[in-house]
Chains A and B, each alone.
Chain A
Amino acid sequence: MLLTAKDIHKTYQTADGPFAVLRGVSLTLAAGETLALTGESGSGKSTLLHLIGGLDVPDTGQILLDGTDIAALDDTGRAALRRGTVGVVFQQFNLIPSLRVADNIAFQARLAGQYDAAWCAELADRMGLKPQLRKYPEQLSGGQQQRVAIARTLAPRPKLVLADEPTGNLDEGTAEVVLSLMLDLVTETRAGLLMVTHSDRLAGRMTRRLHLAKGQVA
């Protein structure tokens, strides 16, 4: 199994006191499998995604990614995990504004020491970004920026792709194109995909679906 999360708990301190975001969530994901994580705002979807991506640590529970317990890693270990094993696609794209598109696509692969020029070129081609390679992110439309973000995520060939509402900022037509491209590429690379979405229609395109409500699997 590529990913196994067992009995995950996470509580945040808020102005009104402690707030339990996740209350014993468990899930599994196999390589090449796609899983939609749905639920209302505040149900804990993004928090779970961040924990799996090594961006945060659970209070209790275990997250095994490719056999490694993420919760047991220190900050440097989790950073190494984020560089090479996991790729995250953010809703806000989070591109580096001062780098050109080509450099943005290659960036994470270079960080991970897994840069493959041919693969990056193919990703750019498949994403329809070839004419934009010399441009800066601010010169692109939202859809184009998200395609750059997806290409950047896939460039180091991660074992697990995490996507946090990747089409949330895009119109319906563009969202469809971007999602199709991402699914095709994930399937080709045999990566697992865990995608947070509000959209039933997009969730329907995944092989499996998990609904969260009040921090628990519904």
Chain B
Amino acid sequence: MTGTILTALVSHWWRNPLQLFTLLAGLALATALWSGVQAVNAEARASYDAAANTLGEGQFDQLVAQGGGTIPQATYVSLRRAGWLVSPVVEGRLNGVRIVGLDPLTAPGGLGPIRLDEGADIGTFLTGRGQLFGQQSALDDLGDLGPDAVVSPDVAPGTVITDIGVAQQLLGLEGQVSRMLIAPDQPINQVALEVAAPEVRRQPAQGGSDIARLTDSFHLNLTAFGLLSFAVGIFIVNGAIGLAFEQRRPVVRTLRALGVPLPQLIILMALELAIMALVAGGIGVMLGYVIASLLLPDVAATLRGLYGADVAGTLQLRPVWWLSGLAIALGGTALAAGGAFWKLARMPLLAGAAPRALAMAAGRRAVFQGVCAVILLIAALLLGITGTGLLAGFVMLGCLLIGAALALPVLLDRALALFQSRTAEVRAAWFWADTRQQLPGLSLALMALLLAMAANVGVSTMVSSFRLTFTGFLDQRLASELYVTAQDPAQAAELQDFLAPRVDAILPIVSAEVEIAGLPTEIFGARDHATYRDARAFLTAAATPWDAVAAGEGILINEQLARRSGLVVGDAVTFAGRDLTIAATYGDYGNPIGQAIINEALFKTLYPDITPLRFGLRMDAAEVPAVVAALIDDQGLSADQMINQARIKQFSLDVFDRTFTVTTALNVLTLAVAGFAILMSLLTLAAMRVPQLAPAWAMGMTRAQLGRFELIRAVLLAVLTAIAALPLGLALAWALLAVVNVAAFGWKLPMFLFPMDYLRLLIFALLAAGLAALWPAWRLSRTPPSDLLKVFSNER
């Protein structure tokens, strides 16, 4: 019996291949966009974890030089003798590759990600020529340096691990170590650190991958896009399943009348859908791999440029990833089909067996949808006014988007009714009436278009606002024409003497890690100079903030610290035994932690051991090349010790724009999926349209006219949807900038409007809708008269 029922069920799809294609393609696209983004995120996170494993940064406390730079190897020896279980690490860059030297006998994490079965020979590693472990690309970049190269995929991208002795030799750091890892279990009777090695300081473990936290905002952005694309795809699937169930309703009744038990029928239909979901999911995962492969190089470049995070430019097929792709396809199908199954389970056996037209049910559904939409939009409004925190932000976004999507068909119907009431011409009146009749069948696709366009408006507004703010922020922050970094305090002193007669001002950049209001904060000592007084803009400020700072009484804090600690201008903060009054708060975009600025002199008093190694140099921009040349020739500075302001600004904007390229690609993909939804809806509705159009044709309208009306209808509905999408997109942008961003990262971005961008998007959406409607309209204009005549035939 099971086989017979399955034959009957499956035969529906063979007789309706377009519906089958819509279902599979919708689900495959949804899965592809979701799993593509997930693959990119997973690859990046795997790279961070590999980096954390390699460098041990997230797991262990470390000892670093007090004033920066390297530590003499003798300090390591004296610490070991003093009872400290520490392990030396040497690191540096060679040919663009990060070389990490470890001592495998003392390192608490062993050899990090290297496994002995991958070719690690502890004997060769420690003695002889040594071994270099890394990914193929890193080893290739490094070239043949002598030690044996061993390919190890688990080592972080762009990094090579080797024995500490080999690393010292390769990096020219003989007798020096970069830092020391502190084993978690230490003997209780060891000599105090201040006594054993006063030149080093302890840096606490950061609890996981710091880079992962830094890049959270970027990944959140990508995930949101993936989720949105998935939602748009699920709209398509929901439409296809809903239509298929509607069309199969009489068959289901017949099957039950012929003796098929309802539970068995539901199980078999669910099985049928599950198989389709797995097939589509499989295709989607493969497509997702292609999308991820295309996106990954841009994402990797962005992450490297913005956060210094090395991400492999090539994708690995991780079982967790493709299994989750299939799971999300199954889950999405279950979500999309849930309503249809619920209706099927409750469908009475003896109700009229005639197919129920979509439009007939639309009236009742519209009322329900309208009520749900109003409730959700009110909830979004209330959350926007009163809600705090990330969860409230996301719930608000969900309510806003779903509420608006549900409201769309109701709003469109009202708008069309208005047009209809204002029209006297008979064909136009028929057009409006017919468009209203079409609306229920197209509403899911239009909802998908609304979400895609709103996301485009919202995200592009956010990104463009971010860019404008970021540009202004760079102008403030990178006020100096040139930045130089000394290798050690001695070189710093030499540089200052050398530069003093050659530049207008030397501004030391010096910082220390402290706790303010219980929060980790990086405190900077700023020289009282016009550079800061003129360039820095404040979010909130007392009357003369810089005067207060110069007097050693005031402190400036960044927005993150202000929001997280609840501190405002005028409040007092205490650290290092000093009471300071908050004189201003300033924007500090992209920084995950708190930051504060005090006067340089006060900083020196509080932290006499910290010597500035970085300096901002003020001069005429035209003189920069000459100063750079003098620093290289006379002071022996290498190119990577100097950063030209113009170059870093351009580089930062390039990186930003490259991030924007990824966003644009996802924008286009989401919109393309929405266009596909319209195409599929129009094609599946085409067959059902014949009985509606035949009377108009019989009364004198030509098939070409009918085809043109179909095209105009699609474009008109797209225009109306775009009009609705604009305020929704702006609301989305506001929510992202003012609520989610603040809750997630602690800083608020100002919102700017970009009318030309919105106009371009409108044109793009119209093109997508027009292209989607072209084929169905053409097919309609070529409908054979015999098909139209069948509508009037009593023979069938």
* Chain A residues proximal to chain B, CB less than 8 Å: 50, 53, 55-56, 75-76, 79-84, 88, 90, 92, 94-99, 103, 107-108, 110-113, 136, 138, 141-142
Contact = CB atoms under 8 A, between A and B. Distances in A.
A136 B349 contact: no
B254 A94 contact: yes
Contacts, number: 79
A88 B350 CA distance: 13
A69 B261 CA distance: 19
A57 B16 CA distance: 36
A97 B259 contact: no
Given A56-B350, A82-B259, A94-B254, 12 more contacts: A76-B263, A82-B258, A83-B259, A84-B259, A88-B257, A96-B11, A98-B12, A99-B8, A103-B11, A110-B3, A111-B259, A113-B1
Given A55-B257, A76-B261, A110 B1 contact: yes
B529 interface: no
Nearest to A81: B259
A110 B349 CA distance: 21
Given A82-B259, A111-B259, A138 B796 contact: yes
Nearest to B254: A94
B11 A99 contact: yes
Contact of B7 (A75, A94, A99): A99
A14 B16 CA distance: 38
A142 B256 contact: no
Contacts of B4: 107, 110-111
Contacts of B796: 138, 141-142
B251 A96 contact: yes
Interface of B: 1, 3-5, 7-8, 11-12, 14-16, 250-251, 253-263, 349-350, 353-354, 795-796
A184 B567 CA distance: 96
Contacts of A103: 7, 11
A103 B8 CA distance: 9
Give the one of A79, A92, A107 with max B CB within 10 A. A79
A82 B349 CA distance: 13
A92 to B, nearest CB: 6
A75 B15 contact: no
A206 to B, nearest CB: 23
Contacts of B259: 79-84, 108, 111-112
B248 to A, nearest CB: 9
Contact of B258 (A108, A138, A142): A108
Nearest to A56: B350
17 contacts: A75-B261, A80-B259, A82-B259, A83-B260, A88-B258, A90-B257, A95-B254, A96-B8, A96-B11, A96-B255, A98-B12, A98-B14, A99-B11, A103-B7, A107-B4, A110-B3, A141-B796
B251 A56 contact: no
Contact of B795 (A50, A55, A107, A142): A142
B795 A141 contact: yes
Q: Which of B1, B254, B260 has the most CB of A within 10 A?
A: B254
A111 B354 CA distance: 23
B15 A97 contact: yes
A141 B796 CA distance: 6
Contacts of B353: 90, 92, 94
A96 B254 contact: yes
Contacts of B256: 79
Contacts of A96: 8, 11, 251, 254-255
A142 B795 CA distance: 7
